[in-house]
Amino acid sequence: MNMTKIPLGEWVDSLVDWITVTFAALFSFFTNLIDGLLNIIVDVLSVGPPIVLIIVLALLVGYTSKWPLGIFTVVSLLLVDNLGYWDSTIQTLAIVLVSGFFIILLGIPIGIWCAQNKTVQNIVTPILDFMQTMPAFVYLIPSILFFGIGVVPGIVASFIFAIAPAIRMTNLGIQEVPKDLIEASDAFGSTSSQKLFKVQLPLATPTILAGINQSIMLALSMVVTASLVGAPGLGADVYRAVSQINVGQGFEAGLSIVFIAIILDRITQNIRKPAYEKLVSRKIVLSIVGILIVVAALFNTFTKEDTIKGTGSAIGESTNYKIIGIEPGAGLMAQAKTAMKDYKLDNWTLVEGSSAAMVAELKKAYSKKEPIIITGWSPHWMFASFDLKYLDDPNGTFGGAEEINTLVRKGLKEDAPGAYTILDQFSWDTSDMEKVMVDVSGGMDPKEAADKWIKANTDKVAKWTKGAQAGNGEEIKLVYVAWDTEIASTNVIAKVLEQNGYKVKLSQVEVGPMFAGVANGSVDAMVAAWLPSTHKDYYESYKKDLVNLGPNLKGTKNGIVVPKYVDIDSIEDLK
Amino acid sequence: MDPFVEVRNVSKIFGKSPKAALELLELGRSKKEILKETGQTLGVNKVNFSIYPGEIFVIMGLSGSGKSTLIRMFNRLIAPTIGEILIDNEDIVKMSASRLREVRQQKISMVFQNFALFPHKTILENTEFGLEIQKKPIKDRREKAMQALEIVGLKGYEHQLPSQLSGGMQQRVGLARALASDTDILLMDEAFSALDPLIRKDMQDELLEIQENFKKTIIFITHDLDEALRIGDRIALMKDGSIIQLGTPEQIMMNPANEFVEKFVEDVDLSKVLTASHIMKRPEKIGVDRGPRVALEIMRKEGYSSIFVVDRKQKLLGAISAEQARQAIDQNLSISEVMTTEVPTVPEDALLVDLMDVMATSALPISVVDDKHRIKGIVIRGAVIGALAGNKDSLNDLESE
């Protein structure tokens, strides 16, 4: 069977491209709207010292869910503050509140519409099913293209992922209103809007609130995912901990998320029937909260000095003082941070996300010839596809050239001597790797691309396999990160090993787990260790449990990269 | 009198394509046949009748007979598949949606079987719901709702929630809500069926009182024949969507249209249906200006032990026994000086069940009088027993009424 693959993915690609271009103005409007709203909420939440917000939240939780939970709120939030996650917590809270705001704003009307119109319900239900089951990561990809990297695509993805319960429960709540009450309402001559507002919505309120509660919890569960595209907050802390295999930090940040979840859950769950409603009526409490918010917002507008971010550098203005980074745990990011210190780029932010998100952002800016500044490294296919340049690094912060090393587990030499020899002798050039990478980024299957390169370079491959005894079907587990360089090299070496009688299993993981896996012997080898600088931290912590077979590629480079049309040449120009 | 509500050739078919079913209906097929051939359910089958102002019109039938469907057509909660329903000479079936809302607000209100009170609204807010929908000023609607609550005896409960009241009280709220809109027509869908028997009876009495005071036209659905007989001016008996008999309670009791009705009514407590006028006999009476000798003579001739005394306008004054007549002759007194004036009387429409008590405590036959206290007849024990035994010979001719 050799059927042509239906180019579904390509169709989606071109559709997304088309949408990106056609609705650019609309997207930038939404981006500004969401960003603006988020900033207002962050400002309001952080108007006083942490203790102010802690007390307000504790009173609110206590009022709705009895005093022991109020005390719990105080203790847990003080702990969060003490651990140093307060700013992240505010960010996360703001992200969830903004998502929640849009979920309520759109979810309830859509739910009402579904309840009133069978056709709408029949159309919306499968869309909701789709939205809920499609892995949330998938929304991130077009979100970056539409809304750029940062917090906005994260909020949009959370919104899409989390809106379903609000719509479903609103629909359900309205449809569950007893039929005789609907008849009674009709019999006295109500219009449909009178029926909706006087009978259906009041009776559906408990169900609708349960839906909103679920939606908000789902939105909160998305904060880690959202951090992949650069959303700040506790999610980014967790992501950073994962990519650095930092158990302690992961636990602290995770615990903070749990606290936030409990607080939000209790407030939204019990707001309809607060525990102390008899003491203070709900209207009074809601008014006080409303007044506090307005006062805080006004206070902000009056006291906030216009913090002029840059010192007037044109490139800073046009890029919003953002350097688009990659995974927070990457050595490149650590270098970039040091560089920002060295070059005194205090007003710049380094946006954390992922390499894929960075490339998406670059693609977007490049197609519009907008200025963009990224952290980059070569070999990378983007240098083949776009006209890019490294900014000069007079201080040498990014170090000189790097090498990609092959690391194997201890004992591989004894267990699979042939594979060990091949891995040891594996070595190629930047240009070789880029050939594979360009094919892959052009849509070719990595295995095919690897095969193609091997066929064209039999002489090189012969050097690697020289003197290696053939395997006997032993399984070799290779581990790699989803960087384009590693996808290329790992697939090539995997193919070569397979041709020499080994069965190869590939696992794609994050950088931290990649090192940890080889070190603890659960996988056999990796060909993706960037040394001495990019993966320095990981290498230092695991090197005693690893065998370093030396570089398989030399002459790599890290740095700050801009498209050639950007009119600066040195990192110093950013100041 | 012109009818207030006219139902003309109304049918209802439940299903997606009622056309085929309508054709079969025209051919006179039964509900079962139509269901079998088309899969459509016949809810109401070619119904025709008129309701007059101030009437309590009861639609009675077992569950599935189509009565609930029929009552919902009067305010178009269910639209008839075919036919016309004229309310005040206006066809509700063809009405625009906005006119329909007006009619629902101003002409027809409804009381529901399970009360259908809004659980999130207080008793007062429930009662003023119809007025709220009509966007009446708050002050007006409070006032009217309070009046309605007073009529049903729930003053003082206005700030409670429905869940805090008993079933009977909840249905009073339902009634008050319907009364507050001040509509001419009251639709009552098994309004009292969910209540226990004693409370049901109270509510029935109250409904009769309200009807007496406010002259509403009431369309009442029930599956309880006793209830229908008790409150209905006329009763329509439904089976399989058709009306099989329509008439006054007596007509239905005494002349069942077919076996079905007969079976239906056979268990009914006759003492709650038959009235004094059904069983009364011609009274023996004597003018008060006559002498006691005449009285004694009549008694001797007819074989009675006593005789009723009336004035020239036939107004009942008392009764005189043979001994009293003899005493009057001996002492040379007039009839009025010796007669018993404490004579038990009942009105013509008194139910037999209400006669029992009077009969037990009096030696004299009970006299039946009209509203001017003129004697119309007497009731003797034998006639009561005969009537309750189902002996139609002991009944007066009903058709003559």
Considering only the C-alpha atoms of chain A, give the largest distance between any 2 of them, rounded to a whole number of Å. 94
For the stretch A256-260, contacts whose Cβ atoms lie closer than 8 Å and that sit 24 or more positions apart, written own/partner, are A256/A80, A256/A83, A256/A85, A256/A88, A256/A89, A256/A92, A257/A92, A257/A220, A257/A223, A259/A76, A259/A77, A259/A79, A259/A80, A260/A89, A260/A92, A260/A93, A260/A96, A260/A220, A260/A234
Torsion (CA) A168, A170, A176, A179 in degrees, nearest 10: -130
Best of A179, A182, A186, A188 to substitute, by most chain B Cβ atoms within 10 angstroms, is: A188
Sign of the dihedral defined by the CA atoms of residues A5, A6, A7, A9, in that order: negative
The per-residue b/e assignment along B366-390, b for 16 or more CB within 10 angstroms, e otherwise, is bbbbeeeeebbbbbeeebbebbbee
Cα A146 from Cα A139, distance rounded (Å) = 11
CATH superfamily to which A316-399+563-574 belongs: Glycine betaine-binding periplasmic protein; domain 2 (3.40.190.100)
Residue B267 has pLDDT above 90, yes or no: no
CB atoms within 10 A of CB A199: 23
Q: How far is CA B334 from CA B237, B294, B295, B312, in A?
A: 56, 11, 11, 16
Cα B243 from Cα B257, distance rounded (Å) = 11
User: Where on the phi/psi map is residue B54: left (φ > 0), alpha (ψ -120 to 50), or beta?
Assistant: left
Q: How far is CA B123 from CA A203, B112, B118, B154, B370, in A?
A: 16, 16, 9, 9, 43
pLDDT at B397: 55
Residue B311 has pLDDT above 70, yes or no: yes
Of residues A230 and B207, more confidently modeled: B207
Q: Tell me if the pTM is above 0.90.
A: no
Question: Cβ–Cβ of B110/A194 closer than 8 Å?
Answer: no
Q: What φ, ψ does residue B258 adopt, rounded to 5°? A: -155, -175
Of A180, A189, A199, the CB nearest to B101: A189
Give yes or no for A183 touching B (CB within 8 A): yes
Give yes or no for B118 touching A (CB within 8 A): yes
pLDDT band at B399 (very low <50, low <70, confident <90, very high): very low
Residue B366 has pLDDT above 90, yes or no: no
Tell me whether strands B56-61 and B234-239 are parallel, antiparallel or unpaired: parallel
pLDDT at A175: 93
Q: The tokens of B86 are what?
A: 């004229």
CB atoms within 10 A of CB B218: 24
Question: Cβ–Cβ of A183/B132 closer than 8 Å?
Answer: no
Give me the CATH code for the A403-554 domain, please: 3.10.105.10
Q: What φ, ψ does residue B275 adopt, rounded to 5°? A: -120, 170
Q: Print the SS3 string covering A130-148.
A: HHHHCCHHHHHHHHHHHHC
Give yes or no for B111 touching A (CB within 8 A): no
* Of residues A526, A455, A537, A458, the one with CA closest to residue A494: A526
- Residue ranges of domains in chain A: 42-300, 316-399+563-574, 403-554
Of B77, B118, B119, the CB nearest to A187: B77
Of B117, B119, B130, the CB nearest to A188: B130
Contacts of B105 in chain A (CB under 8 A): 188-189
- Residue ranges of domains in chain B: 5-269, 276-394
CATH superfamily to which B5-269 belongs: P-loop containing nucleotide triphosphate hydrolases (3.40.50.300)
Angle at B69 between CA B67 and CA B71, to 5 degrees: 70
Q: What φ, ψ does residue A476 adopt, rounded to 5°? A: -115, 125
Q: What φ, ψ does residue B326 adopt, rounded to 5°? A: -65, -40
What secondary structure letter does DSSP report for A268? H
Q: The tokens of B365 are what?
A: 């036959």
pLDDT at A100: 93
Cα A536 from Cα A533, distance rounded (Å) = 5
pLDDT at B312: 83
* Of residues A87, A92, A88, A238, the one with CA closest to residue A154: A92
pLDDT at A247: 86
pLDDT band at B390 (very low <50, low <70, confident <90, very high): low
A42-300 topology per CATH:
MetI-like fold (1.10.3720)
Average pLDDT per block of 10 residues along chain A, 575 residues long: 77 83 85 88 86 90 90 93 90 92 94 93 92 80 77 86 93 93 93 93 93 92 84 86 81 92 90 84 87 84 57 72 83 85 85 83 84 87 84 82 88 90 90 86 85 91 88 88 85 91 86 86 89 82 88 86 87 82
What secondary structure letter does DSSP report for B29? -
Nearby residues of A150 by Cβ (< 8 Å), 6 or more positions away: A35, A229, A230, A231, A322, A351
Which residue carries 């309830």 as its tokens? Answer: A108
What secondary structure letter does DSSP report for B269? -
Total length of chain B? 401
Give yes or no for A191 touching B (CB within 8 A): yes
Give yes or no for A180 touching B (CB within 8 A): yes
User: Within 13 A of B351's CA, how many CA atoms are on the CB side?
Assistant: 12
Q: How far is CA A159 from CA A219, A226, A502, in A?
A: 7, 11, 46
pLDDT at B394: 62
Nearest CA in chain B to A195: B133
Out of A201-205, B38-42, B172-176, which region has the weakest mean confidence (pLDDT)? Answer: B38-42
Which residue carries 């309070």 as its tokens? Answer: B146
Total length of chain A? 575
Residue B200, class by beta-carbon neighbours within 10 Å (0-12 exposed, 13-18 middle, 19+ buried)? buried
The per-residue b/e assignment along A323-342, b for 16 or more CB within 10 angstroms, e otherwise, is bbbbbbbbbbbebbbebbee
Give me the CATH code for the B276-394 domain, please: 3.10.580.10
CA distance B11 to chain A (A): 21
CB atoms within 10 A of CB B263: 10
Residue B91 has pLDDT above 60, yes or no: yes
* Of residues B304, B283, B279, the one with CA closest to residue B386: B279
CA B316 to chain centre: 30
pLDDT at A309: 45
* Of residues B113, B132, B223, the one with CA closest to residue B170: B113
pLDDT above 70 covers a percentage of chain B that reads 97
Are B62 and B225 a contacting pair, CB within 8 Å? no
Cα A358 from Cα A144, distance rounded (Å) = 9
> Which of A233-247, B184-198, B328-342 is predicted most confidently?
B184-198
Are A22 and A30 a contacting pair, CB within 8 Å? no
* Of residues B297, B362, B304, the one with CA closest to residue B326: B297
CA distance A204 to chain B (A): 11
